[in-house]
Structure 1
């Protein structure tokens, strides 16, 4: 599919927990996500949704198949080169937040910029913290925050970046309805106004309903890739 900034062909992930006992988590998956759109990955627990997200983003190595990000084949890219590529082009939102507990909120926001040899845009960061109701928390250690507040910090961090592609695993799972709505509004702005590619794994029918495209995964297979949301969750 022309124009796809995230794509895979024949993507397969097999694990062998015991000798002569292999399990196929992803089975020859073809996937495409285009810039300027939010693509939602849905399906029941254990279907392979998160594994697909991690393989597409290069955080896990697939057993076979190919993956292209922004026209770059990352399938056999060296680990060091892949790390540099992720830092420059990709943003991540994890269920586990992945915040540095020894740092303050502001220091966590600055970390991706520091890794790139850049400075945190403080005005933009302050605006993002106000948007998420965290304006008074930026000097506090993230360990002093609630789970929902930590998730908002993690979201603010990735949304502040100039990542071309954002991968998000259940980004609204720990948030109240109002905060979740704000997150989706920012994602829409990044996709529609800034032309970014957003790929979201979700169990939420409300989140899926706001995606431009739905990819349904069942038992490691992609069942459909609809241009209209509403696939079964």
Structure 2
């Protein structure tokens, strides 16, 4: 909710938290009778117009946290609200519609359909919503990403960096309100990774989008407006930009 608070002669805007979680816990049973705790009572917020990074050692629960926030995994306990709507109790079809309308995903595996061309992958979110691909905007987006000559090529013919740019172009084209990214630069070289982060930064620059990403990279974390460290399934600490030790 957007609320302003009087402060002397000025007005101080209260942050708009588009991603909120309370008391998230996750237990799994890899073997009968055993129980493994991955998340333990996590509270989390991400602000509109900001890029929030989630860091921590391998196995700390940071990717599970991201997936629970995005509604891709169901937590054992706790609540998640996105854009002011609680998704915890949504049925599968309602949650799927909500994700298609409001969320974008950028993962290390790219989540592209290998049997489709670049353009067909861009069209997929629109097809799922029963809409047509806005071809002029798609051409502009591909041109921006330097992918216009490859629009009719299969994505299997592209390099890893090019495939990641296709995934980002799809997110931008679908105009997602919140973008969740899991190790978006993990499989890329330094130059391609820097371009990906530059694009994610451009998403939040307008002030009305939110990016939440998981990363192992201190260089990527330094580009975030806020960093949350997860250790042993708990939030260990919050850090401002430029003070990250991974």
Asked if these proteins are the same fold (TM beyond 0.5), I'd say: yes
For the structure 1 residues 201 and 99, does the alpha-carbon distance in structure 2 shift closer, same or farther, using more than 3 Å as the test? Answer: same
Could you list the per-position Cα deviations for residues 117-174 of structure 1 after superposition, in whole angstroms to 9, with x for gaps in the alignment?
Answer: 2222323322332333322111011122223322221122112221110000111222
Question: 1:194 Cα shift?
Answer: 4.5
Unpaired runs of 5+ residues, structure 2, are: 1-13
Q: 1:99 maps to which residue?
A: 112
| Whole-angstrom CA distance in 2 between matches of 1:131 and 1:47 | 37
**Residue in 2 that maps onto 1:53:** 66
For residues 71-220 of structure 1, the aligned pairs below 5 Å read 71-220=84-233
Greater RCO between the two (CA within 8 Å, min separation 6)? 1
CA distance in 2, matches of 1:66, 1:44: 25
After superposition, give the CA deviation of every residue in 1:6-44 in whole Å (9 maximum; x if it has no partner): 011110010011122100001100000010000000111
Specify the SS of the correspondent of 2:196.
helix
When residues 189 and 133 of structure 1 are mapped into structure 2, their CA distance, relative to the original with a 3 A threshold, is: same
How many Å separate the matches in 2 of 1:76 and 1:192? 32
Is the deviation greater in 41-50 or in 109-118?
109-118
Structure 1 partner of 2:7: none
Local SS of the residue matching 1:86: helix
Cα deviation 1:55-78 (Å, max 9, x = unaligned): 000000000011111111111110
TM-score (norm 2): 0.89
Tell me if structure 2 keeps the 8 A contact 1:208–1:230: no
- Structure showing greater radius of gyration is 2
Cα distance change on mapping 1:136 and 1:101 into 2, 3 Å: same
Match of 2:21 among 2, 5, 8: 8
2:149 is paired with a residue of what secondary structure?
A: coil
State the TM-score, normalizing by the size of structure 1.
0.94
Runs of 4+ with deviation above 3 angstroms: none
> In 2, Cα distance between the equivalents of 1:23 and 1:9?
20
Where do 5+ consecutive residues of structure 1 fail to align? none
Quote the residue 1:26 is aligned against: 39
Q: Deviations over 1:40-99 (max 9, x none)?
A: 001111111110000000000000011111111111110110000000000001121111
Aligned-CA RMSD value:
1.6
Q: Equivalents in 2 of 1:156, 1:10: separation in Å? A: 34
